[in-house]
Structures are given as structure tokens and as C-alpha cells.
């Protein structure tokens, strides 16, 4: 007899894995911290001082205290090990930065599209206002029209000129 059938509407229980589990986000943050450290002048100065101390110790110390003789095999191994871990960590940090840059670029592109659409809308609105204002009577136009009407009425003598006799 078989065991109970798995229900299709529920997720399966997670399986055990032989591989260690890790949080990719925390590992990525750790790699960025290492990459930032490796990319500083302070790291280069400290590494140079350690290498110089290493070489001086293994050249000038008494024979029984030396731990890495002249070809400095152990130093070469340590530097190779450091480089073999540094390169992938730096690449991982660069990939994460490229992903962030890509997201920022997409957000900037969308913002630019919105700005262009807003600018085009405002341009159309200003053009419509200008067209509408072209049909609106301004104060100067009304004043000139009144002056024209007054002049025309004066020419027709609709308003008699005041005489000195009328004031008395």
C-alpha cells in the first residue's frame, strides 16, 4: 500500500539538501564589504607592509626562527589564496552594482518619460491659452475702441460742444 497522496493545492515540504544553505543577499553584502576593503589604499599599504615584514623576517632572522625560506613558497601560496578569493568576491560585488545601476537606469528612464509627457501636456495647454487670449479683448483695445467711437461721435456732432453761454 502506498502512503497518502500529496495534495496539489498545498506546497511540498522542503527537501533536505546536501549543500549548505546561505542567504544570497547577506553573502552579496559581505562580498561588497570585502571588495570595498580591497579597493582602498589602506589595504594596499597594509598588505605591502606585511609582505615587507615577511620577507625581512625570513631573510634576516636566525635560521631556526625562519618559517619561509628564500623562494617564499608560503608567501606565494598565501597571496595566491587571497587573490583566488578576492577576484570572485569583486566580480560578485560588481554584478550587484550593475543590477542596481540597471534598476536606477530604468527608474530614471520612466521618470524622464513622465517629465516629457508632462512637458508636452503643459505646452499644449499654453498654446490653447494663447489662442484663447488672442480672442479676448484687452484694456488697451477697449480704450482704443472707445476713443474711436468718441472721435466718430465728435465728427458727427452728436455731442454739441459746450459753449460759454450754457455754463451761466
For the stretch 93-145, pLDDT in tens is 999 999 999 999 999 999 999 999 999 999 999 999 888 777 777 788 889 98
Q: How far apart are CA 41 and CA 43, in angstroms?
A: 5
CB atoms closer than 10 angstroms to residue 85: 13
For the stretch 24-42, pLDDT in tens is 889 889 889 998 998 899 9
For residue 165, pLDDT beyond 60: no
Q: How far apart are CA 31 and CA 28, in angstroms?
A: 5
What pTM does this model have? Answer: 0.56
For the stretch 9-24, pLDDT in tens is 888 888 888 888 888 8
- Higher-confidence residue of 139 and 66: namely 66
What would the mean pLDDT of 35-62 be, rounded to a whole number? Answer: 94
Amino acid at each position: 500500500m502506498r502512503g497518502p497522496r500529496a495534495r496539489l493545492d498545498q506546497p511540498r515540504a522542503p527537501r533536505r539538501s546536501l549543500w549548505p544553505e546561505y542567504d544570497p543577499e547577506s553573502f552579496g553584502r559581505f562580498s561588497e564589504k570585502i571588495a570595498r576593503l580591497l579597493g582602498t589604499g589602506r589595504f594596499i599599504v597594509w598588505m605591502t607592509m606585511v609582505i615587507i615584514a615577511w620577507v625581512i623576517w625570513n631573510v634576516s632572522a636566525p635560521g631556526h626562527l625562519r618559517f619561509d625560506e628564500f623562494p617564499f613558497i608560503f608567501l606565494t601560496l598565501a597571496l595566491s589564496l587571497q587573490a583566488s578569493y578576492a577576484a570572485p568576491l569583486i566580480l560578485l560585488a560588481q554584478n550587484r552594482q550593475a543590477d542596481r545601476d540597471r534598476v536606477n537606469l530604468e527608474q530614471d528612464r520612466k521618470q524622464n518619460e513622465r517629465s516629457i509627457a508632462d512637458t508636452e501636456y503643459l505646452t499644449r495647454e499654453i498654446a490653447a491659452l494663447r489662442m484663447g487670449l488672442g480672442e479676448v479683448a484687452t484694456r488697451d483695445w477697449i480704450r482704443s475702441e472707445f476713443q474711436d467711437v468718441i472721435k466718430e461721435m465728435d465728427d458727427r456732432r452728436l455731442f454739441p460742444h459746450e459753449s460759454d453761454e450754457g455754463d451761466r
